[in-house]
Structure 1
Amino acid sequence: MFILTMPSTAAVCLLLLWPVASGTAADDLTVVTAHPGDDVILPCQANDSSIIAVEWTRPDLEPPKYVLYCSDGHCDPTHQHPSFKDRVDLVDRDLKDGDVSLILKNVSSNDNGTYECRVKLDSSRRKKRAIIDSEPIRTIRLQVQNSSPVGRYHGLAAGVPVGLILVAVAVVGVLMYKRHKNKRSGQPAADDDDDEALGDTLV
């Protein structure tokens, strides 16, 4: 068995470089990750541009399960789940070029779940119900993740030049070495001398 090993520092660097928010597809399921407060786009592209209605649902919700239903450029909130009120929209309400991607604003952990996208084509003129009886053309898994300590350290490090960090580490190392050397030789450390001088001044 081949086992890949690496120094811990290299492993940490790889973790820091790993994208926090990304989309990956596997078995027709797209995973989108985000952090609380983000605005995210759940992508969905129809092969046919003659779309008259689009429906986004979340099957794991208690009824009503509708995230958004739009027909002919107008969105109908009648069957919409209350948690998505005023937080969702389509990237393009005109449904040009088959783009029916969903915008979800200010996400939270409550938005974790599976989202399904369905469309109704111009050949089907039934508009009575806000339900599209067809298989989803896209399934999205949204994962809203809290920032990890690694992510926070990454953000901190990103704002500080690498050279400055190395200089600071070098200075601390030199000071610790000199302090240790002075103690071993019996000489008082520099800060001890300062403390004595300060005491004499106060007296």
Structure 2
Amino acid sequence: MLLVFSFCFPILSLVSASEDQREIKVNPGQDVSLLCQGLRDASVTLLEWTRPDLKSDGYVFFYRNERPYENYQHESFHGRVELRDPEMKDGDASVVLKNVTFNDTGTYECRIVTNTRQEIKHLIDLNVTDSDHTAGDKEGGNKDEFRSIVVGLSVFGMLLVVFVVVSICRKCKQSSEHCSYKPPPYNDVTQ
């Protein structure tokens, strides 16, 4: 019984950790609200929006001492992120990311620390995509065109091979009908 519990407990932990993760799909050029909700009765003393997959330092958005700090932001987010509600009424720590690009695709983490020393985290998967391409792959159309050309040439090549084989078989069949050569009869010579 203990073995079953120790095996199942990590799985249950993963399920509960992923319940708070949301996925948002948006087209390039649009503005998107990244939602993050803190406690309604507590004030936010620290707010960090990060994107863990970015290799360099810097925040998506950083708020402390009742004001945002743009100088702590990653350079790709300068001038593009602001609080949805500057007063953060009722614990609303959501931000608006303006003019999204394919490079904005990724997982965003919101971390709130309140005046009651409570810490809250939210995860959001942002997928920037358009109707013709997959997120993060703007050159996807060129790759698809290349694949189509390769497939088309392959099919053409196969049809050409079939045509050649059929032509050769027809010639062989026609020439064998006109052929007068017959193998010698089998002689069973016994001594």
Structure 2 runs not aligned, ≥5 long: 1-17, 134-191
- Alignment of 1:143 onto 2:131: no
Quick one: distance in 2 between partners of 1:136 and 1:67?
A: 17
- Aligned partners of 1:85, 1:77: CA distance in 2, in Å? 7
What do the CA deviations read for 1:14-45 (whole angstroms, capped 9, x no partner)?
xxxxxxxxxxxx63210000000000001111
Runs of 4+ in 1 over 6 A off after TM superposition: none
Question: For 1:77 and 1:117, how far apart are their aligned partners in 2?
Answer: 16
- Residue by residue over 1:110-141, the C-alpha shift from the partner in whole angstroms, topping out at 9 and shown as x without a partner, is 000000001121145xxxxxxxxx96521000
Seq. identity, %: 42
* TM-score, normalization by structure 2: 0.55
Distance 1:65 1:72 in 2: 18
Q: 1:78 aligns with which of 71, 76, 85?
A: 71
Change (3 A) 1:52 1:87: same
Distance 1:32 1:136 in 2: 20
CA distance in 1, matches of 2:108, 2:119: 13
State the AA in 2 paired with 1:99.
D
Q: Please say which structure displays the higher CA radius of gyration.
A: 2
Gap runs ≥5 in structure 1: 1-25, 125-133, 150-203
* C-alpha contact (below 8 Å) 1:59/1:65 kept by paired residues: no
How many residues were matched structurally? 115
Structure 2 counterpart of 1:27, from 9, 19, 43: 19
TM-score by length of 1: 0.52
Select the residue among 38, 46, 54 that pairs with 2:47.
Answer: 54
CA RMSD between the two structures: 2.0
Corresponding residue of 1:113: 106
Q: Does residue 99 of structure 1 match 2:112?
A: no
Name the aligned partner's letter for residue 143 of structure 1: N
Is the Cα contact below 8 Å between 1:47 and 1:98 reproduced in 2? yes
Distance 2:63 2:125 in 1: 21
Which of residues 12, 25, 37 is equivalent to 2:29?
37
